[in-house]
């Protein structure tokens, strides 16, 4: 891992692989960058819009985030500081499928829902290239990940993705070690407030134990390169944590974040109910004590 010497002035680039806790991280990022200096690339053609920005508009961007590949590096300042988060490929595939089913704006929503496709059918139908080694696609030198047809990712792409992780990312995070990832990002970028509550969590998601063996086998076969890449990322992450991590700080952060999440939930509930209901409940609780 390379900790950038001057991340305060270098543009930060978050390569957001879908369903890796990126939406939760977005909220944290918005605590540290003015909204006017954030540019988000979605999967709806906004990458082309980004490329058409004027030099002055590019200069104003302090944080670029979104679903794009490392191939976009040729369009960005050389001093840009990249970071990303990876996830266990099986868990990501399950989460991605359920996300599509509840997201009408997703480009695969109609095909998946109208045909009532199962997860296995979604994969064997070769509907979405990002379901086929999507992490390798985005970390190789592709801009969108869709340039290579389904089933045609190569070992050369895996080699390039590993190189980009090891050489060009200031922080390589893992969804499964999200708290540790946040502490590494805090150290790299000097962020202060990194407390969070989970965002965009897939509801009604199947666990691996609930899926047929045939479905799990299809997921693994479809994501063999991602499995190798994830194992490589795990090793990089262990090295990062050994060098930069702080176990005592992790324990403290988790304790404080539980408090933050509790207060966030309480504040949401307070907003949900009208004042009259809250006052009534308050008096009821007091009279019953």
Please give the share of the chain, as a percent, with pLDDT higher than 90: 78
Range scoring the smallest mean pLDDT among 6-15, 139-148, 161-170, 267-276: 267-276
Residue 284 confidence (pLDDT): 54
- Give the residue with greater pLDDT, 200 vs 11: 11
Q: Specify whether 87 is located in the same domain as 104.
A: yes
Confirm whether 4 is domain-assigned.
no
Q: Specify whether 259 is located in the same domain as 182.
A: no
Q: Specify whether 19 is located in the same domain as 116.
A: yes
Q: Which residue has the tokens 């290239």?
A: 129
Cα dist from 172 to 51, 156, 166, whole Å: 26, 20, 8
Range scoring the smallest mean pLDDT among 27-36, 190-199, 216-225: 190-199
Four-residue CA torsion sign, 241, 247, 250, 254: positive
Average pLDDT over residues 168-192: 97
Q: What is the pLDDT of residues 217-240, one digit of tens each?
A: 999 999 999 999 999 999 999 999
Q: Mapped to the 3 state alphabet, what secondary structure does the chain carry? A: CCCCCCCCCCCEEEECCCCCCHHHHHHHHCCCCCHHHEEEECCCCHHHHHHCCCHHHHHCCCEEEECCCHHHHHHCCCCCEEEEEECCHHHHHHHHHHHHHCCCCCCCHHHHHHCCCCHHHHHHCCCCHHHCCHHHHHHCCCCCCCCCCCCCCCHHHHHHHHHHHHHHEEEEEEHHHHHHHHHHHHHHHCCCCCCCCCCCCCCCCCCHHHCCHHHHHHHHHHCHHHHHHHHHHHHHHHHHHHHHCCHHHHHHHHHHHHHHHHHHHHHHHHHHCCHHHHHHHHHHHHHCC
Q: Specify whether 241 is located in the same domain as 253.
A: no
Q: What is the pLDDT of residues 67-92, one digit of tens each?
A: 999 999 999 999 999 999 999 999 99
Residue 226 domain boundaries = 12-245
- Which residues touch 160 (CB under 8 Å, ≥6 apart)? 139, 140, 141
Q: Which residue has the tokens 């992790």?
A: 250
Q: What is the pLDDT of residues 34-52, one digit of tens each?
A: 999 999 998 767 898 999 9
Residue 103 confidence (pLDDT): 95
Residue 5 confidence (pLDDT): 45
Radius of gyration of the chain from its Cα atoms, rounded to whole angstroms: 21
Residue 131 pLDDT more than 50?
yes
Confirm whether 125 is domain-assigned.
yes
- 247-280 burial: b if 16+ Cβ within 10 Å, else e: eeebeebeeebeeeeeeeeeeeeeeeeeeeeeee
CATH code at 105? 3.40.50.300
Q: Specify whether 82 is located in the same domain as 103.
A: yes
Residue 281 confidence (pLDDT): 56
Give the mean pLDDT of the chain. Answer: 90
Domain count, the chain: 2
Q: Specify whether 139 is located in the same domain as 254.
A: no
Q: Specify whether 232 is located in the same domain as 255.
A: no
């Amino acid at each position: 891992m390379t900790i950038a010497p001057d991340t305060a002035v270098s543009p930060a680039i978050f390569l957001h692989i879908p369903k890796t806790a990126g939406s939760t991280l977005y909220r944290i990022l918005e605590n540290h960058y003015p909204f006017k200096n954030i540019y988000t690339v979605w999967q709806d053609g906004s990458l082309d819009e980004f490329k058409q920005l004027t030099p002055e508009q590019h200069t104003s961007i302090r944080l670029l985030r979104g679903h794009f590949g490392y191939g976009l590096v040729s369009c960005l300042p050389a001093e840009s500081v990249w970071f990303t988060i990876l996830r266990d490929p099986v868990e990501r595939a399950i989460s991605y499928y359920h996300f599509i089913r509840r997201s009408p704006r997703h480009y695969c929503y109609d095909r998946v829902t109208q045909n009532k496709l199962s997860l296995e059918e979604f994969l064997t139908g070769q509907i979405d290239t990002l379901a086929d080694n999507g992490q390798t696609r985005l970390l190789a030198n592709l801009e969108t990940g869709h340039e290579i047809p389904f089933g045609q990712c190569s070992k050369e792409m895996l080699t390039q993705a590993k190189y980009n992780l090891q050489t060009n990312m200031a922080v390589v995070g893992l969804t499964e070690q999200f708290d540790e990832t946040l502490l590494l990002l805090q150290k790299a970028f000097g962020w202060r407030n990194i407390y969070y509550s989970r965002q965009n969590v897939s509801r009604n998601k199947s666990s691996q134990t609930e899926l047929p063996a045939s479905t799990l086998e299809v997921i693994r076969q479809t994501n063999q390169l991602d499995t190798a890449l994830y194992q490589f990322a795990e090793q990089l992450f262990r090295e990062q944590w050994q060098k930069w991590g702080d176990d005592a700080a992790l324990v403290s952060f988790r304790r404080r974040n539980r408090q933050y999440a509790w207060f966030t939930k309480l504040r949401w509930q307070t907003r949900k109910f009208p004042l009259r209901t809250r006052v009534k409940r308050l008096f009821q609780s007091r009279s019953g004590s």
